[in-house]
Structures are given as structure tokens and as C-alpha cells.
């Protein structure tokens, strides 16, 4: 990999992990403001909201860590191949994430039972949106790349007419016999 290409990859990796961290930091205050400005949403009353928020934040932190470690390795060692311990840990996180996805779905049911006729429908819609977005993040990291925000990714999509496997998925496949 030439110096110009390394610089481009390093910039891309930095963009990815900084974007994830920015979202981690900003979503909590935004949730608080939303709950204060629109108290009828009753977001903070919904167990499913807290579970969805936790799941989403956890996935973003895992993604930020993944991109940061790739970035750091590129700077220190000249390769963007993800370190094996990082891939192994994230492989274990995948199982934990799936359990959280199921538990969050159960939290929706518990909220439904708890609120019965006073169910905060608009708060549920926002919570459901957050939950679906968290599931999409999970798919984006651990299975199929869902975000195509640069020219080479879009060209791949047009030429191959199918979505790419995620970078983490490829890393896990590379280490499959090891992990």
C-alpha cells in the first residue's frame, strides 16, 4: 500500500471511529432534551427505551473501538489488518449483542403489559425507531455493509448488484479457524 493510499485509509478509519464516538456522546443529551421538551412521550418511563438506547450505544462503542484499533495499527505497523484479539473479543460481543436484541424485544412486551391503556404511543414509535436502528447497526457491523457513503462502495454496489460483507465479518471469517 502506497503512502497516498495509507493516508486515505487512515483518514477514512479516523472518520469512522470519530463519527461513532460523536454519536455515542450526543445521543444521551439529545434523549434528555427530548424527554424534557416532550414529557408526554414518556421516553424515560419505557424500559424498552433504555434497553434500545443501551444496545445502540454499546454497538456504537464496539464499532468505534474496532475502527480505532484498525486505525492505530495502520499508523504503528503500516497495515490495517485488525489485530486478532480485537476480532476475538468482538466475536464474543456478537453473541452478547444478540441476547440484548432479544431482551429488548421482551422489554417492549413488558412495557405493553405495564402501561396497558395508557401506553405512550409516540414514545413507543421513537423507541421502536431506535431499536430498529440498533438492529441495523448490528447487521452493518457483524454481517452486511449497509452504509455506502463513498465512491468506491457505490461503484462496488453498481457493478456487483449486491451488498458487501462488512469489514468485521470478513475479519471474523479470516480468523475462523483461530477463533
Residue 178: pLDDT band by 50, 70, 90 thresholds? Answer: low
Q: How far apart are CA 19 and CA 145, in angstroms?
A: 16
Please state, rounded to an integer, the average pLDDT across all residues of the chain: 93
Domain assignments of the chain as residue spans, ordered by start: 3-174
CA-to-CA dists, residue 134 to 32, 51, 121, angstroms: 19, 10, 20
Q: What percentage of residues in the chain have a pLDDT greater than 90?
A: 80
Mean pLDDT of 48-72: 98
What's the rounded mean pLDDT across residues 57-71?
Answer: 97
What pLDDT, on the 0 to 100 scale, is given for residue 42? 94
Q: What is the pTM of this model?
A: 0.92
Instruction: Answer yes or no: is pLDDT of 138 > 70.
Output: yes
Q: Are 101 and 135 in contact (CB under 8 A)?
A: yes
Sign of CA dihedral 137, 88, 167, 22: positive
Burial track 147-173 (b if 16+ CB lie within 10 A, e otherwise): eeeeeeeeebeeeeeeeeebbbbebbe
Q: How many helices (H) and strands (E) does the chain have?
A: 6, 0
H-helix or E-strand containing 50? Answer: helix 47-77
Amino acid at each position: 500500500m502506497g503512502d497516498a493510499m495509507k493516508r486515505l485509509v487512515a483518514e477514512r478509519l479516523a472518520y469512522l471511529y470519530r463519527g461513532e464516538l460523536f454519536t455515542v456522546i450526543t445521543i444521551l443529551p439529545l434523549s434528555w432534551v427530548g424527554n424534557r421538551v416532550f414529557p408526554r412521550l414518556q421516553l424515560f418511563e419505557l424500559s424498552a427505551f433504555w434497553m434500545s438506547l443501551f444496545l445502540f450505544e454499546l454497538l456504537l462503542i464496539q464499532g468505534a473501538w474496532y475502527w480505532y484499533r484498525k486505525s492505530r495499527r495502520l499508523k504503528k505497523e503500516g497495515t490495517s489488518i485488525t489485530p486478532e484479539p480485537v476480532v476475538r473479543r468482538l466475536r464474543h460481543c456478537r453473541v452478547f449483542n444478540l441476547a440484548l436484541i432479544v431482551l429488548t424485544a421482551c422489554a417492549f412486551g413488558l412495557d405493553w403489559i405495564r402501561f396497558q391503556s395508557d401506553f405512550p404511543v409516540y414514545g413507543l414509535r421513537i423507541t421502536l425507531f431506535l431499536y430498529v436502528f440498533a438492529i441495523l447497526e448490528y447487521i452493518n457491523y457483524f454481517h452486511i455493509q449497509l452504509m455506502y457513503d463513498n465512491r468506491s462502495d457505490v461503484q462496488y454496489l453498481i457493478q456487483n448488484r449486491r451488498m458487501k460483507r462488512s469489514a468485521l465479518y470478513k475479519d471474523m471469517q479470516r480468523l475462523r479457524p483461530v477463533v
